[in-house]
Amino acid sequence: MTMFPETNETLIARVKDLGDGASWTEFVGIYQPIVYRMARRRGLQEADALDVIQQVFVSVAKSIDDWYPISGGPPFRAWLATIARNTITNALGRRRHDLAFGGSSVIEQLNAQPDNRATWSELYREVQQQQVVWAAEQIRHEFSDDVWASFQMTAIQGLPIADVARSLRRSAGAIYVARYRVIARLKEKVQEVSYLWEKE
């Protein structure tokens, strides 16, 4: 429940400067929670996990300056995703799972650890899931409460259409249509950020 450390202000300013675009916002929105969860799973304290997040994003942001387009090369977003994956696995994958680190040297210690391929697949899984959650958050505001509830109760909670229709006082047809609309939009939104988890 802690806010990011203060230096995060700089990061946010930087992010704004560098991207001014949806890609970076998306990117941060999706990767931040992933990095946090993965770091915590590795036994890092909350403050250290936040520190790892910051290190990762500062490092990614810095490498943005190295990017320039090569004809036939990857577009910015794909490139960004690759850099992020490398940075994250470097930060997290090279440490032993049973040790918790503290202090400012945590990244150095992490970096000193051997690579762990398992981190890659964990990261892919996390990204795949997070981007669906992210997409759902993104599109939530595009639908009214009724439409969203129709989707959530039927598609996620698995309640029968008729029950949902009754409880929302809407026709079954409206529930069918609402569910279709939300899911179609969700898939579309997920597709927009698919670059984040497609393997090279």
58-97 residues in contact with other proteins (CB under 8 A) are 62, 64-65, 67-69, 71, 73, 75-77
Tokens of 30: 């999706």
Q: In the complex, what is the shortest distance from the CB of residue 23 to other proteins, in angstroms, rounded to a whole number?
A: 4
Is residue 18 near other proteins by the rule CB under 8 A? yes
Per CB under 8 A, contacts with other proteins among 126-145 are 128-130, 132-134, 136-137, 140-145
Closest CA to 38 of 124, 103, 112, 109: 124
Q: In the complex, what is the shortest distance from the CB of residue 96 to other proteins, in angstroms, rounded to a whole number?
A: 20
Sign of the Cα pseudo-torsion (28, 17, 111, 107, in order): negative
Chosen residue from 8, 45, 90, 109 binding other proteins by CB under 8 A:
8
Helices (runs of H) and strands (runs of E) counted in the chain: 9, 0
Chosen residue from 96, 97, 166, 187 binding other proteins by CB under 8 A:
187
Number of residues that bind other proteins (CB under 8 A): 76
- At residue 53, the 3 state secondary structure works out as helix
Is residue 17 near other proteins by the rule CB under 8 A? yes
Per CB under 8 A, contacts with other proteins among 23-42 are 23, 29, 32-33, 36-37, 40-41
Tokens of 78: 């794909």
Is residue 2 near other proteins by the rule CB under 8 A? yes
Q: Which is nearer to other proteins, 54 or 89 (CB)?
A: 54
Is residue 146 near other proteins by the rule CB under 8 A? yes
Is residue 43 near other proteins by the rule CB under 8 A? no
CB half-sphere exposure, 166, CA atoms < 13 A: 5
Rounded CA gap, 185 and 191, in Å? 10
* 11, containing H or E segment: helix 8-19
Is residue 186 near other proteins by the rule CB under 8 A? yes
175 CB contacts (<8 Å, ≥6 apart)? 150, 154, 161, 164, 165, 168
Q: Which is nearer to other proteins, 105 or 171 (CB)?
A: 171
